[in-house]
Copies of this chain bind each other. A is one copy, B any other.
Amino acid sequence: MSHSTISRAGCLARDAADPLAPLRECFDLPQGVIYLDGNSLGARPKAALARAQQVVAREWGVDLIKSWNKAGWFDMPKRLGDRLAPLIGARAGEVAVTDTTSLNLFKALAAALHLQAQGDTGQRRTIVTERSNFPTDIYMAEGLTEWLERGYRVRLVDSVDEIPAAVDGDCAVLMLTHVNYRTGYQHDMGLLTRHAHAQGALAVWDLAHSAGAVPVDLHAAQADFAVGCTYKYLNGGPGAPAFIWVPQRHQARFKHPLSGWWSHAQPFAMAPAFAACNGIGRALCGTQPVVSLALVECGLEIFEVTGMDALRAKSLALTDLFIELVESRCAAHPLELVTPREHARRGSQVSFTHPHGYAVMAALIARGVIGDYREPRIMRFGFTPLYTSFAEVWDAVEILKDILDNEAYDVAAERSAVT
Protein backbone atom coordinates (compact mmCIF):
# COMPACT_ATOMS: atom_id res chain seq x y z
CA MET A 1 0.00 0.00 0.00
CA SER A 2 1.02 3.61 -0.57
CA HIS A 3 2.85 5.59 2.08
CA SER A 4 0.68 8.30 3.56
CA THR A 5 1.93 11.82 4.20
CA ILE A 6 -0.81 12.49 6.73
CA SER A 7 0.17 13.38 10.29
CA ARG A 8 -1.72 13.82 13.53
CA ALA A 9 -0.99 17.54 13.32
CA GLY A 10 -2.57 17.55 9.90
CA CYS A 11 -5.67 15.88 11.33
CA LEU A 12 -5.85 18.45 14.13
CA ALA A 13 -5.62 21.18 11.52
CA ARG A 14 -8.52 19.66 9.63
CA ASP A 15 -10.56 19.60 12.84
CA ALA A 16 -9.72 23.25 13.47
CA ALA A 17 -10.99 24.13 10.00
CA ASP A 18 -14.06 21.86 10.17
CA PRO A 19 -17.28 23.89 10.24
CA LEU A 20 -19.12 20.89 11.72
CA ALA A 21 -16.69 20.42 14.61
CA PRO A 22 -18.76 22.53 17.06
CA LEU A 23 -21.68 20.10 16.70
CA ARG A 24 -19.84 17.63 18.88
CA GLU A 25 -20.85 19.89 21.74
CA CYS A 26 -24.44 18.76 21.16
CA PHE A 27 -23.48 15.27 22.38
CA ASP A 28 -22.35 13.73 25.61
CA LEU A 29 -19.59 11.28 24.81
CA PRO A 30 -17.68 9.38 27.46
CA GLN A 31 -14.10 10.36 28.24
CA GLY A 32 -11.35 8.17 26.84
CA VAL A 33 -13.50 6.70 24.11
CA ILE A 34 -13.28 7.00 20.33
CA TYR A 35 -16.81 6.08 19.38
CA LEU A 36 -16.99 4.53 15.92
CA ASP A 37 -20.25 2.65 16.42
CA GLY A 38 -22.85 5.28 15.70
CA ASN A 39 -24.04 2.99 12.91
CA SER A 40 -25.23 0.60 15.61
CA LEU A 41 -26.27 2.95 18.42
CA GLY A 42 -25.93 6.70 17.98
CA ALA A 43 -24.39 8.74 20.80
CA ARG A 44 -26.59 10.62 23.25
CA PRO A 45 -27.59 14.18 22.44
CA LYS A 46 -27.10 16.29 25.56
CA ALA A 47 -30.69 17.48 25.24
CA ALA A 48 -32.00 13.94 25.68
CA LEU A 49 -31.42 13.87 29.44
CA ALA A 50 -33.45 16.98 30.12
CA ARG A 51 -36.11 15.84 27.70
CA ALA A 52 -36.38 12.45 29.44
CA GLN A 53 -36.78 14.24 32.77
CA GLN A 54 -39.42 16.52 31.30
CA VAL A 55 -41.45 13.65 29.87
CA VAL A 56 -41.18 11.45 32.95
CA ALA A 57 -41.44 14.04 35.72
CA ARG A 58 -43.69 16.67 34.21
CA GLU A 59 -45.68 15.20 31.33
CA TRP A 60 -46.28 11.77 32.86
CA GLY A 61 -45.92 12.55 36.56
CA VAL A 62 -47.83 15.83 36.81
CA ASP A 63 -50.02 16.24 33.75
CA LEU A 64 -50.75 12.53 33.46
CA ILE A 65 -53.49 11.68 30.99
CA LYS A 66 -53.79 15.31 29.84
CA SER A 67 -50.41 14.99 28.15
CA TRP A 68 -51.88 13.00 25.30
CA ASN A 69 -53.13 16.34 24.02
CA LYS A 70 -51.31 18.98 26.04
CA ALA A 71 -47.82 17.58 25.43
CA GLY A 72 -48.65 16.35 21.95
CA TRP A 73 -48.06 12.68 22.72
CA PHE A 74 -50.77 11.53 20.38
CA ASP A 75 -49.41 13.48 17.39
CA MET A 76 -45.78 12.66 18.04
CA PRO A 77 -45.38 9.94 15.38
CA LYS A 78 -46.43 12.41 12.68
CA ARG A 79 -44.72 15.45 14.15
CA LEU A 80 -41.39 13.62 14.37
CA GLY A 81 -41.99 12.21 10.90
CA ASP A 82 -42.28 15.73 9.54
CA ARG A 83 -38.99 16.69 11.18
CA LEU A 84 -37.28 13.61 9.80
CA ALA A 85 -38.71 13.99 6.29
CA PRO A 86 -36.15 16.48 4.87
CA LEU A 87 -33.30 14.07 5.67
CA ILE A 88 -34.68 11.50 3.23
CA GLY A 89 -36.25 13.64 0.54
CA ALA A 90 -39.75 13.11 1.87
CA ARG A 91 -42.51 15.68 2.22
CA ALA A 92 -44.53 16.71 5.24
CA GLY A 93 -47.27 14.22 6.00
CA GLU A 94 -45.40 11.31 4.45
CA VAL A 95 -43.36 9.94 7.38
CA ALA A 96 -44.38 8.44 10.72
CA VAL A 97 -42.04 7.51 13.55
CA THR A 98 -43.54 4.37 15.05
CA ASP A 99 -43.06 0.71 15.96
CA THR A 100 -39.88 -1.06 14.77
CA THR A 101 -38.09 -1.23 11.44
CA SER A 102 -39.11 -4.89 11.13
CA LEU A 103 -42.79 -4.09 11.65
CA ASN A 104 -42.72 -1.09 9.36
CA LEU A 105 -41.14 -3.22 6.66
CA PHE A 106 -43.93 -5.76 7.12
CA LYS A 107 -46.49 -3.00 6.60
CA ALA A 108 -44.69 -1.62 3.55
CA LEU A 109 -44.27 -5.04 1.93
CA ALA A 110 -47.88 -5.96 2.61
CA ALA A 111 -49.02 -2.65 1.13
CA ALA A 112 -46.78 -3.16 -1.92
CA LEU A 113 -48.16 -6.65 -2.54
CA HIS A 114 -51.67 -5.29 -2.09
CA LEU A 115 -51.03 -2.52 -4.64
CA GLN A 116 -49.65 -5.03 -7.10
CA ALA A 117 -52.56 -7.40 -6.58
CA GLN A 118 -54.94 -4.58 -7.55
CA GLY A 119 -53.19 -3.92 -10.85
CA ASP A 120 -52.26 -5.65 -14.08
CA THR A 121 -49.31 -7.17 -12.27
CA GLY A 122 -51.48 -9.12 -9.84
CA GLN A 123 -49.97 -12.47 -10.76
CA ARG A 124 -46.43 -11.56 -9.69
CA ARG A 125 -45.32 -13.60 -6.71
CA THR A 126 -41.71 -12.85 -5.73
CA ILE A 127 -40.13 -10.37 -3.37
CA VAL A 128 -36.56 -10.01 -4.59
CA THR A 129 -33.81 -9.10 -2.15
CA GLU A 130 -30.17 -9.81 -1.38
CA ARG A 131 -28.99 -12.76 0.67
CA SER A 132 -26.63 -10.25 2.31
CA ASN A 133 -29.50 -7.98 3.38
CA PHE A 134 -29.92 -7.43 7.11
CA PRO A 135 -31.53 -10.70 8.16
CA THR A 136 -34.64 -9.33 9.86
CA ASP A 137 -35.70 -7.80 6.54
CA ILE A 138 -35.58 -11.23 4.95
CA TYR A 139 -37.31 -12.83 7.93
CA MET A 140 -40.18 -10.36 7.83
CA ALA A 141 -40.62 -10.87 4.09
CA GLU A 142 -40.60 -14.64 4.64
CA GLY A 143 -43.13 -14.31 7.45
CA LEU A 144 -45.45 -12.28 5.26
CA THR A 145 -45.19 -14.41 2.14
CA GLU A 146 -45.49 -17.70 3.99
CA TRP A 147 -48.69 -16.61 5.73
CA LEU A 148 -50.28 -15.17 2.62
CA GLU A 149 -50.17 -18.69 1.15
CA ARG A 150 -50.89 -17.54 -2.37
CA GLY A 151 -47.66 -18.66 -3.92
CA TYR A 152 -45.72 -15.64 -2.75
CA ARG A 153 -42.07 -16.24 -2.02
CA VAL A 154 -38.82 -14.46 -1.25
CA ARG A 155 -36.07 -14.73 -3.85
CA LEU A 156 -32.55 -14.11 -2.61
CA VAL A 157 -29.80 -12.97 -4.95
CA ASP A 158 -26.13 -13.44 -4.17
CA SER A 159 -24.66 -10.29 -5.65
CA VAL A 160 -25.60 -6.81 -6.74
CA ASP A 161 -25.00 -7.80 -10.35
CA GLU A 162 -27.75 -10.40 -10.18
CA ILE A 163 -30.43 -7.95 -9.07
CA PRO A 164 -31.47 -6.64 -12.49
CA ALA A 165 -32.12 -10.09 -13.94
CA ALA A 166 -33.96 -11.24 -10.80
CA VAL A 167 -36.42 -8.37 -11.19
CA ASP A 168 -38.34 -10.26 -13.82
CA GLY A 169 -41.96 -10.75 -14.82
CA ASP A 170 -42.65 -12.62 -11.58
CA CYS A 171 -41.18 -9.93 -9.33
CA ALA A 172 -43.80 -7.98 -7.39
CA VAL A 173 -41.42 -6.10 -5.12
CA LEU A 174 -37.71 -5.30 -5.08
CA MET A 175 -36.81 -4.88 -1.41
CA LEU A 176 -33.33 -3.58 -0.68
CA THR A 177 -31.41 -2.03 2.15
CA HIS A 178 -29.88 1.10 0.67
CA VAL A 179 -26.57 0.84 2.57
CA ASN A 180 -25.47 -2.66 3.57
CA TYR A 181 -25.03 -3.08 7.32
CA ARG A 182 -21.93 -5.24 6.94
CA THR A 183 -19.98 -3.83 4.00
CA GLY A 184 -21.22 -0.26 3.84
CA TYR A 185 -22.03 -0.77 0.14
CA GLN A 186 -24.54 1.84 -1.07
CA HIS A 187 -26.97 0.92 -3.83
CA ASP A 188 -27.90 3.32 -6.60
CA MET A 189 -31.46 3.88 -5.42
CA GLY A 190 -32.61 5.80 -8.48
CA LEU A 191 -31.19 3.34 -10.98
CA LEU A 192 -32.57 0.25 -9.26
CA THR A 193 -35.96 1.83 -8.64
CA ARG A 194 -36.23 2.83 -12.31
CA HIS A 195 -35.30 -0.70 -13.30
CA ALA A 196 -37.90 -2.16 -10.95
CA HIS A 197 -40.58 0.12 -12.33
CA ALA A 198 -39.59 -0.66 -15.91
CA GLN A 199 -40.15 -4.33 -15.09
CA GLY A 200 -43.49 -3.67 -13.40
CA ALA A 201 -42.19 -4.14 -9.85
CA LEU A 202 -42.36 -1.79 -6.87
CA ALA A 203 -39.27 -0.73 -4.92
CA VAL A 204 -39.20 -0.80 -1.09
CA TRP A 205 -36.10 0.64 0.58
CA ASP A 206 -34.71 0.10 4.05
CA LEU A 207 -32.81 3.23 5.10
CA ALA A 208 -31.51 1.90 8.43
CA HIS A 209 -27.92 2.79 7.51
CA SER A 210 -28.81 5.75 5.29
CA ALA A 211 -31.02 8.16 7.21
CA GLY A 212 -28.72 10.80 8.66
CA ALA A 213 -25.71 9.01 7.15
CA VAL A 214 -25.92 9.73 3.42
CA PRO A 215 -28.07 12.05 1.33
CA VAL A 216 -31.31 10.32 0.37
CA ASP A 217 -33.93 11.71 -1.99
CA LEU A 218 -36.82 9.27 -2.07
CA HIS A 219 -38.92 11.42 -4.38
CA ALA A 220 -36.10 11.98 -6.85
CA ALA A 221 -35.55 8.22 -6.89
CA GLN A 222 -39.31 7.68 -7.27
CA ALA A 223 -39.17 5.02 -4.57
CA ASP A 224 -42.44 3.41 -3.54
CA PHE A 225 -42.06 2.84 0.20
CA ALA A 226 -39.25 3.19 2.71
CA VAL A 227 -38.55 2.33 6.32
CA GLY A 228 -35.64 3.03 8.61
CA CYS A 229 -34.14 3.33 12.01
CA THR A 230 -33.81 6.31 14.35
CA TYR A 231 -31.34 4.85 16.83
CA LYS A 232 -28.31 4.69 14.57
CA TYR A 233 -27.19 7.81 12.69
CA LEU A 234 -30.23 9.78 13.87
CA ASN A 235 -29.19 9.40 17.53
CA GLY A 236 -32.71 8.81 18.80
CA GLY A 237 -31.80 6.53 21.70
CA PRO A 238 -31.54 2.78 22.24
CA GLY A 239 -34.20 0.90 20.33
CA ALA A 240 -36.09 4.13 19.62
CA PRO A 241 -39.13 3.75 17.37
CA ALA A 242 -38.44 3.40 13.67
CA PHE A 243 -39.90 5.28 10.72
CA ILE A 244 -41.96 4.52 7.66
CA TRP A 245 -42.37 6.62 4.51
CA VAL A 246 -45.47 6.38 2.34
CA PRO A 247 -45.46 8.90 -0.51
CA GLN A 248 -48.63 10.84 -1.01
CA ARG A 249 -49.29 9.14 -4.31
CA HIS A 250 -49.64 5.75 -2.59
CA GLN A 251 -51.40 6.84 0.59
CA ALA A 252 -55.00 6.42 -0.56
CA ARG A 253 -54.33 2.76 -1.39
CA PHE A 254 -51.95 2.05 1.49
CA LYS A 255 -53.33 -1.03 3.23
CA HIS A 256 -51.70 -3.54 5.55
CA PRO A 257 -52.90 -6.18 8.03
CA LEU A 258 -51.70 -4.40 11.20
CA SER A 259 -54.79 -2.20 11.33
CA GLY A 260 -54.75 -0.97 14.91
CA TRP A 261 -56.79 1.84 16.38
CA TRP A 262 -54.13 4.52 15.83
CA SER A 263 -54.79 4.21 12.08
CA HIS A 264 -58.55 4.53 12.44
CA ALA A 265 -60.29 7.56 10.96
CA GLN A 266 -62.01 8.19 14.31
CA PRO A 267 -60.07 6.32 16.97
CA PHE A 268 -62.19 7.66 19.83
CA ALA A 269 -65.52 6.93 18.24
CA MET A 270 -64.77 3.36 19.37
CA ALA A 271 -66.57 1.90 16.38
CA PRO A 272 -66.40 -1.87 16.00
CA ALA A 273 -65.60 -1.65 12.26
CA PHE A 274 -62.20 -0.56 11.02
CA ALA A 275 -62.13 2.50 8.77
CA ALA A 276 -58.68 3.74 7.82
CA CYS A 277 -57.79 7.38 8.29
CA ASN A 278 -56.34 9.38 5.42
CA GLY A 279 -52.65 10.13 5.13
CA ILE A 280 -49.58 8.71 6.81
CA GLY A 281 -51.63 7.80 9.89
CA ARG A 282 -52.52 4.63 8.02
CA ALA A 283 -49.08 3.35 8.86
CA LEU A 284 -49.75 3.53 12.60
CA CYS A 285 -51.06 0.62 14.65
CA GLY A 286 -51.13 0.70 18.48
CA THR A 287 -50.20 3.07 21.30
CA GLN A 288 -46.55 4.15 21.09
CA PRO A 289 -43.83 4.14 23.77
CA VAL A 290 -43.92 7.84 24.54
CA VAL A 291 -40.69 8.24 26.51
CA SER A 292 -38.53 6.54 23.88
CA LEU A 293 -40.42 8.31 21.12
CA ALA A 294 -39.95 11.76 22.65
CA LEU A 295 -36.16 11.37 22.75
CA VAL A 296 -36.05 10.90 18.98
CA GLU A 297 -36.73 14.60 18.67
CA CYS A 298 -33.46 15.50 20.40
CA GLY A 299 -31.52 13.70 17.70
CA LEU A 300 -33.50 15.21 14.86
CA GLU A 301 -33.09 18.77 16.18
CA ILE A 302 -29.34 18.60 15.68
CA PHE A 303 -29.69 17.90 11.97
CA GLU A 304 -31.66 21.11 11.55
CA VAL A 305 -28.58 23.26 12.21
CA THR A 306 -26.65 21.63 9.37
CA GLY A 307 -27.45 19.78 6.14
CA MET A 308 -26.89 16.39 4.59
CA ASP A 309 -24.51 17.80 1.94
CA ALA A 310 -22.12 19.18 4.54
CA LEU A 311 -22.44 15.99 6.58
CA ARG A 312 -21.79 13.84 3.54
CA ALA A 313 -18.67 15.81 2.61
CA LYS A 314 -17.24 15.29 6.08
CA SER A 315 -18.35 11.66 6.19
CA LEU A 316 -16.45 10.92 2.98
CA ALA A 317 -13.42 12.82 4.25
CA LEU A 318 -13.48 10.75 7.46
CA THR A 319 -13.90 7.41 5.71
CA ASP A 320 -11.29 8.32 3.05
CA LEU A 321 -8.87 9.24 5.81
CA PHE A 322 -9.54 6.04 7.75
CA ILE A 323 -9.04 3.86 4.67
CA GLU A 324 -5.85 5.65 3.72
CA LEU A 325 -4.38 5.50 7.22
CA VAL A 326 -5.25 1.85 7.81
CA GLU A 327 -3.86 0.82 4.44
CA SER A 328 -0.67 2.81 4.87
CA ARG A 329 0.08 2.39 8.58
CA CYS A 330 -1.17 -1.19 8.98
CA ALA A 331 0.06 -2.37 5.58
CA ALA A 332 2.00 -5.22 7.14
CA HIS A 333 -1.17 -6.89 8.38
CA PRO A 334 -3.80 -9.01 6.61
CA LEU A 335 -6.55 -6.42 6.57
CA GLU A 336 -8.86 -6.35 3.59
CA LEU A 337 -11.19 -3.48 2.77
CA VAL A 338 -14.73 -4.66 2.01
CA THR A 339 -16.27 -1.20 1.77
CA PRO A 340 -16.33 0.38 -1.71
CA ARG A 341 -13.66 2.95 -2.45
CA GLU A 342 -16.00 4.67 -4.87
CA HIS A 343 -17.72 7.49 -3.03
CA ALA A 344 -21.10 6.98 -4.67
CA ARG A 345 -21.17 3.38 -3.52
CA ARG A 346 -20.04 4.01 0.06
CA GLY A 347 -22.14 4.64 3.15
CA SER A 348 -20.77 6.26 6.29
CA GLN A 349 -18.92 3.22 7.60
CA VAL A 350 -15.75 1.34 6.75
CA SER A 351 -15.37 -2.41 7.17
CA PHE A 352 -12.17 -4.41 7.06
CA THR A 353 -11.81 -8.14 7.37
CA HIS A 354 -9.02 -9.63 9.45
CA PRO A 355 -8.51 -13.36 10.13
CA HIS A 356 -8.90 -12.58 13.83
CA GLY A 357 -11.41 -9.80 13.35
CA TYR A 358 -13.37 -10.63 16.47
CA ALA A 359 -10.32 -10.68 18.71
CA VAL A 360 -8.81 -7.53 17.20
CA MET A 361 -12.11 -5.69 17.68
CA ALA A 362 -12.27 -6.87 21.29
CA ALA A 363 -8.76 -5.47 21.81
CA LEU A 364 -9.74 -2.19 20.19
CA ILE A 365 -12.78 -1.86 22.44
CA ALA A 366 -10.64 -2.60 25.50
CA ARG A 367 -8.41 0.29 24.39
CA GLY A 368 -11.40 2.62 24.03
CA VAL A 369 -11.91 2.41 20.27
CA ILE A 370 -15.55 1.30 19.98
CA GLY A 371 -16.36 -0.31 16.68
CA ASP A 372 -18.10 -3.63 16.32
CA TYR A 373 -17.80 -7.05 14.79
CA ARG A 374 -20.00 -8.79 12.26
CA GLU A 375 -19.74 -12.31 10.95
CA PRO A 376 -17.62 -13.31 9.11
CA ARG A 377 -14.34 -11.73 10.25
CA ILE A 378 -15.59 -8.18 9.66
CA MET A 379 -14.51 -5.23 11.81
CA ARG A 380 -17.01 -2.44 11.33
CA PHE A 381 -16.22 1.23 11.96
CA GLY A 382 -18.98 3.82 11.73
CA PHE A 383 -18.19 7.49 11.15
CA THR A 384 -20.61 10.09 12.35
CA PRO A 385 -19.68 13.56 11.07
CA LEU A 386 -21.79 15.15 13.80
CA TYR A 387 -19.35 14.06 16.49
CA THR A 388 -16.34 12.22 15.03
CA SER A 389 -13.13 14.22 14.57
CA PHE A 390 -10.23 13.72 12.16
CA ALA A 391 -7.83 13.42 15.10
CA GLU A 392 -9.96 10.57 16.45
CA VAL A 393 -9.57 8.77 13.15
CA TRP A 394 -5.79 9.17 13.46
CA ASP A 395 -5.77 7.96 17.05
CA ALA A 396 -8.01 4.99 16.28
CA VAL A 397 -5.69 3.82 13.53
CA GLU A 398 -2.64 4.24 15.75
CA ILE A 399 -4.26 2.04 18.39
CA LEU A 400 -5.20 -0.51 15.74
CA LYS A 401 -1.62 -0.46 14.45
CA ASP A 402 -0.26 -0.95 17.94
CA ILE A 403 -2.58 -3.90 18.58
CA LEU A 404 -1.68 -5.53 15.28
CA ASP A 405 2.07 -4.83 15.48
CA ASN A 406 2.20 -6.37 18.94
CA GLU A 407 -0.38 -9.10 18.32
CA ALA A 408 -2.08 -7.69 21.41
CA TYR A 409 -5.32 -9.57 20.92
CA ASP A 410 -6.70 -12.80 22.31
CA VAL A 411 -7.77 -15.16 19.56
CA ALA A 412 -9.49 -17.36 22.12
CA ALA A 413 -11.76 -14.49 23.13
CA GLU A 414 -15.33 -15.55 23.46
CA ARG A 415 -17.80 -14.35 20.85
CA SER A 416 -20.66 -12.56 22.46
CA ALA A 417 -21.13 -9.38 20.44
CA VAL A 418 -24.59 -7.85 20.41
CA THR A 419 -26.23 -5.62 17.76
Contact = CB atoms under 8 A, between A and B. Distances in A.
A419 B260 contact: no
Interface string A390-419: 000000000000000000000000001111
Contact of A100 (B259, B285, B375): B285
A260 B102 contact: yes
Given A30-B64, A103-B285, A419-B65, A261 B295 contact: no
A260 B140 contact: yes
A57 B64 contact: no
Given A103-B285, A106-B258, A30 B61 contact: yes
A238 B136 contact: no
Given A43-B64, A44-B60, A268-B375, A259 B143 contact: yes
Contact of A135 (B100, B256, B270): B270
Nearest to A287: B239
A129 to B, nearest CB: 9
B291 A295 contact: yes
A104 B285 CA distance: 11
Contacts of A43: 61, 64
B287 A290 contact: no
Taken together, the copies of this chain in the complex come to 2
Interface string A270-300: 1111100000000001111111110100000
A237 B291 contact: yes
Given A268-B417, A286-B103, A143 B257 contact: yes
Contact of A146 (B57, B257, B287, B416): B257
Contact of A60 (B67, B99, B237, B416): B237
A291 B241 CA distance: 11
A142 interface: yes
Contacts of A35: 64
A264 interface: yes
| Shortest 5 CB-CB contacts between residues of A and residues of B | A100-B286, A289-B292, A102-B286, A136-B261, A238-B290
Interface of A: 28, 30, 33, 35, 37, 40-41, 43-44, 48-49, 52-53, 55-57, 59-69, 73-74, 99-103, 106, 110, 131-136, 138-140, 142-144, 146-150, 156, 182, 231, 237-242, 256-261, 264, 267-274, 285-293, 295, 370, 372, 374-375, 416-419
